[in-house]
Amino acid sequence: MHSDAFDLKALIRPVVDFPKPGVIFRDITPLFQSPRGLRYVADQFIERYVEAEFSHIGAMDARGFLIGSIIAPPLNKTLLLFRKQGKLPADVLSEGYQTEYGEAFLEGHADSLCEGDSVLIFDDLIATGGTLLAAANLVRRTGAQVFEAAAIIDLPELDGSRRLQAAGVPTFCLTEFSLSEY
């Protein structure tokens, strides 16, 4: 029997003990090295959002940029970049958040959104949800709304999707991994 099912997980490489012992890093590099895999991911997101009502795509530094820049043009949406502290050249809004490794800051241009805008925020992965929650807070501080948070991978045991949903941010991921799954 022939199956057309696409195995997205096969293109996500587990890297054990990176960036610190006990962590299994989910490396999406093989996905980007596969034209079919990248097309599959793009098609899945485009199909989900092609008729959705939102005005902007907000992409997280740095791997979220890859997905956001691929799906913004076919959806005819404005692409916003949420950057790590000190990377944007104009006036910024800044939001602190906790990472698995300490505190960090996410920034967005202060003039990029206004009341009435609606933003789909993208990252490669939802772990603790800190980066996407910081982006959601930045969006809301401009008077805009968060449409949804989307990622390729969810790590549900780290509660990021639950934390986002508790903050009023719906989530969508193409696949998920348990913390012990190789």
Return contacts of 78-86, CB within 8 angstroms, 24+ apart.
80/56, 80/108, 80/109, 80/112, 80/113, 80/119, 81/108, 82/58, 82/106, 82/107, 82/108, 82/121, 82/131, 82/134, 82/135, 82/138, 83/107, 83/108
Which residue among the candidates 26, 63, 83, 148 is catalytic per the annotation? 63
Which residue among the candidates 13, 39, 100, 162 is catalytic per the annotation? 100
pLDDT tens digits for 49-61? 999 999 999 999 9
Active site annotation includes 95:
no
pLDDT band at 84 (very low <50, low <70, confident <90, very high): very high
Handedness of CA 71, 73, 77, 80 (dihedral sign): positive
Tokens 């998920």 appear where? 176
Active site annotation includes 63:
yes
Is the pLDDT at 112 greater than 60? The verdict is yes
Distance of CA 73 to the CA centre of its chain: 17
